[in-house]
Structure 1
Amino acid sequence: MRAFTMYHVLSISLVSCLLLILTGCWDRTEVNDVALITGAAIDKIDESSILLSVQIFIPRTASSGGMSGQSANVGNQASFVSSAKGANIADALSHIQEKLPRKLFWGHAEVFILSEEVAKDGIRDEVDYLMRAPQPRERAYMFVVKGKARQLLDAQSMLERNTAEVMREVAKSKLSLSVTLADLAQMLVDETGAAAIPWIELLPASSSRNNDKLPSPVIGSAIFKEGKMIGKIDEFTTKGVLWIKDEIKHAVITVNPTESFGTVSLRLLTSRTKLKPLIKDGKWSINIQIRAENNALQNSTSLKISQDPQAIKIVENSMNKDIEERIRVALNKVQKEMGADIFDFGGTFHRAYPKEWKLNKAHWGEIFTNLDVTINPHATIQRPGLTSIKDVELKEETGK
């Protein structure tokens, strides 16, 4: 009887403890109590203050198809933009919070946009806050914009709910440089301290739009050294950077074979870049080996790439020349003129020659600008396609 009673006492105590655990989340935050930030922009006001702008999602717009009485800059979009001045991001964010009845939440932020002024002044403080704060997403994409960064958040989109989603889709497409917050933070703390971020501009909108600016596709890259923007490169040069960094995933390459009039367009299927460093007799050099497989999209030349192996070889050689030219342009601009190792050549030598790297790390800037780089592209056409209509027409005309 005594054991039975003790058993019941222990059972009741255990159930009581479990009931305390099942009382619910006392500190929960309902979705109706938060303001979801989808994107943020940072502009420079003066030497001691910045302007933080956040794009905030409007839930009822998505369900009701629009809000009567919306301000002109919101239009039919499902978001609005709020800004505040502050000494830094944390200070400005607190001032934005004072204007809103809901608690700001960074967890859905998809893009962070920096103005050119902020980028040139230095971005280490901004990246430090975004990495230190618990809510901002490390997978959010980074951009540098010419002019005012807030204007990009204010712009409207015909296809997406807001411009933050537009820029996210542009970054995800991998058609140009794509850099997340985590990527940028890693580049800034690497041995070389150099970084590259997608560069965009605002284009004039058509007269039928309410906004006077619209976001353009990524048109280049902003180059950073020691946390500050030192210049920018165009889209053609950026493609060379992507080849070197093994980050080119989707591309259509159009070449002009010298042996025939016209062009051939190729779609990139797979690409692989290997960097092979070498230190010999005190001379530092690196070899870039690229293997790219493609299929033929369009052929406007007289080359019969679907029938003649020699014609395929001509087109492949033309693509090899195109790849090498893009890489040479990127090296001349970034390596020779800017001296910014955004290619991570330093990390490659560090892994291959740790002892030599330790002895020469302090002089890497000089070594990098004088580094001998050889390029060995090897492009192949895996799918030349069937006989084209043009081949049939040419055969009928010549009677062969």
Structure 2
Amino acid sequence: MIIWSFGHTMRLSWGLGLLALLLTGCWDRSEVNDLALITGAAIDKHDNKTIELTVQIFVPRGSSNISMDNGLKGSGGSSQSSYVKSAVGVNLADALSHLQEKLPRKLFWGHAEVIIFGEAIARSGIRDDLDYFMRAPQPRERAYMYVSKGEARNILELNTKLERNTAESLREISKSKLTLSVTLADLAQMLGSGSHAAALPYMELTAPLSLNNPDKSESFINATAIFKNDKMIGKIDDSTTRGALWLRNEIKQAVVTVVPEGTEGTVSANLIKSKTTLEPIIENGKWRMNVWIHTEDDALQNTTKLNLVEDPNAVKTVEKALNDDIENRVRSALDKVQHDLQADIFGFAGEFHRAYPKEWKKNQQRWDELFPTVEVAIHSDAKMLRPGLSSIRATQPE
């Protein structure tokens, strides 16, 4: 038999009471009905002293009949699954506070999928804006980053056909890995690295199909914006971007079309697997980089008379054409980025740092001077694993 004393019982009651106070649960909860969910944000330069923040806010289906007469700019077609609102401030935090004054619900960054910088503010510097996104608790470090030609808010205001809004469209483009894909965390890491350089996908709206058929849905020309010390210093086109992706080991999906030597027609190969390895070398005071690129491909379409099924030499001819195409694209990216813009977006600084820590420590302050002088040797090894089962073109009579 256990006999409890009165004093022991009182102490136990007080202890349970204190424990209950610690388990009060969601004392700072926010109901979803009280939140304005931001799905995308655009940052533009308003004047020399202020910026304009534009947010795309998700509208629940039950509220999709909101009238455009209320000053809401629809995005997402007739369903109006989102709308955009803007405010001006001296910085992001200030603009956000002014924007909050215009809305009945509390703005919430937790669902923001994309952040777009207008080119004007990208060229003037984005470090202060990154400071806000990295300090504030709500913005997602996995949000995808973009730069747009002209005003970034125009991207958020585009109509969409396949997705609910432009933020979802851009998220799916980034996830596809067909073009450069950079998150907020990636951008902060690149600018904080030894190279102090970064690359972001650059969007330019395409022209209308015709005067009688202006296409107002999302339609972009993809390129890459190059940053150095948080400021955009230039851009490279879509073809050169492919070469940069090879160097960064970030190309996951691609269809490469080549013209094999000595033939008429083309061969299109579907990329199955790709791996790029960087090998830094320092010898006799010279800094060199070996780039090893290995790809595995399928023959997707063959409009030449090469018999890829039965002739091994034909396969080697196509593989050589693939290697030449890869090397030309990589060399084009090097010529533009390494020699013209002189911004190390390829991660060469990190490779030398890891391989030669002592030499790097002595020369890291001179990296901007050293990077353009690094000799780069490109070694491409494309393998046609599955040439296909059809040889119709090769067996056609003359």
CA offset at residue 12 of structure 1?
A: 4.1
Going from structure 1 to structure 2, the CA distance change for 1:354 and 1:17 (only over 3 Å counts) comes to same
Going from structure 1 to structure 2, the CA distance change for 1:353 and 1:207 (only over 3 Å counts) comes to same
Going from structure 1 to structure 2, the CA distance change for 1:377 and 1:84 (only over 3 Å counts) comes to same
Q: Which residue does the alignment assign to 2:320?
A: 317
CA contact (8 A) 1:240 1:327 kept: yes
1:69 aligns with 2:67: yes
1:114 aligns with 2:117: yes
| Structure 1 runs, 4 residues or longer, greater than 6 Å off | 206-212
The counterpart of 2:284, out of the listed 250, 260, 281, is 281
Going from structure 1 to structure 2, the CA distance change for 1:63 and 1:207 (only over 3 Å counts) comes to farther
SS in 1 for 2:4: helix
Distance across 2 between alignment mates of 1:173 and 1:225: 26
Distance across 2 between alignment mates of 1:377 and 1:258: 17
Q: Which residue does the alignment assign to 2:204?
A: 201
CA contact (8 A) 2:73 2:85 kept: no
Going from structure 1 to structure 2, the CA distance change for 1:369 and 1:69 (only over 3 Å counts) comes to same
CA offset at residue 390 of structure 1?
A: 2.7
Q: Which residue does the alignment assign to 1:27?
A: 28
Q: Which residue does the alignment assign to 1:332?
A: 335
Alignment of 1:147-226 (within 5 A): 147-205=150-208, 213-226=216-229
Cα deviations across residues 336-368 of structure 1 (Å, max 9, x unaligned)?
A: 111101111111111111111111112212211
Distance across 2 between alignment mates of 1:120 and 1:68: 37
Going from structure 1 to structure 2, the CA distance change for 1:212 and 1:257 (only over 3 Å counts) comes to closer
Q: Which residue does the alignment assign to 2:300?
A: 297
CA offset at residue 184 of structure 1?
A: 0.5
**One-letter code of the match for 1:34?**
L
SS in 1 for 2:313: helix
Among the aligned pairs, what percent are the same residue? 55
CA offset at residue 325 of structure 1?
A: 0.1
SS in 2 for 1:3: coil
CA offset at residue 10 of structure 1?
A: 5.6
CA offset at residue 334 of structure 1?
A: 0.4
Cα deviations across residues 129-182 of structure 1 (Å, max 9, x unaligned)?
A: 111111100000000000111111111101111101111111111001000000
CA contact (8 A) 1:194 1:342 kept: yes
CA contact (8 A) 1:204 1:213 kept: no
CA contact (8 A) 2:53 2:92 kept: yes
Alignment of 1:57-96 (within 5 A): 57-59=58-60, 62-63=61-62, 66-71=64-69, 73-74=73-74, 75-96=78-99
**One-letter code of the match for 1:337?**
D
Distance across 1 between alignment mates of 2:210 and 2:53: 29
Alignment of 1:265-280 (within 5 A): 265-280=268-283
CA contact (8 A) 2:226 2:234 kept: yes
* 311-320 vs 15-24, which moves further: 15-24
Distance across 2 between alignment mates of 1:235 and 1:130: 28
Q: Which residue does the alignment assign to 2:44?
A: 43
Going from structure 1 to structure 2, the CA distance change for 1:353 and 1:14 (only over 3 Å counts) comes to same
Aligned residues: 392
TM-score by length of 2: 0.93
TM-score by length of 1: 0.93
Cα deviations across residues 206-256 of structure 1 (Å, max 9, x unaligned)?
A: 689999854333511000111111100001000000000100001010010
Please provide the CA RMSD for this pair: 2.2
Going from structure 1 to structure 2, the CA distance change for 1:211 and 1:114 (only over 3 Å counts) comes to farther
* 216-225 vs 322-331, which moves further: 216-225
Distance across 1 between alignment mates of 2:66 and 2:111: 26
Q: Which residue does the alignment assign to 2:350?
A: 347
CA contact (8 A) 2:206 2:220 kept: no
CA contact (8 A) 1:307 1:387 kept: no
Distance across 2 between alignment mates of 1:94 and 1:277: 48
Cα deviations across residues 305-362 of structure 1 (Å, max 9, x unaligned)?
A: 1111111100000000000000000000000111101111111111111111111112
SS in 2 for 1:191: coil
Which 5+ residue runs of structure 2 have no aligned equivalent? none
Going from structure 1 to structure 2, the CA distance change for 1:206 and 1:55 (only over 3 Å counts) comes to farther
Cα deviations across residues 273-319 of structure 1 (Å, max 9, x unaligned)?
A: 11001111111111000100011111111001111111110000000
Distance across 2 between alignment mates of 1:279 and 1:207: 56
